[in-house]
Amino acid sequence: MTPEAITSMMAEAIRITLLVSAPMLLVGLIVGLAISVFSAVTQIQEMTLTFVPKIVMVFLALLFTLPWMIEKLTSYTVHLFSSIPMLVR
């Protein structure tokens, strides 16, 4: 197993991790920004106003993107397991 193979595997793992987590992070960012603007405009400083909508929207994003996430992770895992015989040499 060469160092190039290891770095390639780790780079692909990091890329898949960022790709899979991006939908939830982007939804949380957009909803948090919208709630912050709403809170600043109306001067409502309620703590539950920031958490509950974010949790609900991130959960909905997870629910809608879960099949795509499972497909990406499954294909990466199959590719990783199928490349084991070539890496052991």
Q: How far is residue 9's CA from residue 17's CA, in Å, rounded to a whole number?
A: 12
Residue extents of the structural domains in the chain:
3-88
Q: How far is residue 57's CA from residue 36's CA, in Å, rounded to a whole number?
A: 15
Judge contact between 39 and 25, C-beta under 8 A.
Answer: no
Instruction: State pLDDT tens for residues 63-83.
Output: 999 999 999 999 999 999 998
Lowest mean pLDDT among 20-34, 36-50, 63-77: 36-50
**Average pLDDT taken over every residue of the chain:** 91
Give the pLDDT confidence score for residue 87 in this predicted structure. Answer: 78
For residue 16, the tally of other CB atoms under 10 A from its CB is 17
For residue 88, the tally of other CB atoms under 10 A from its CB is 7
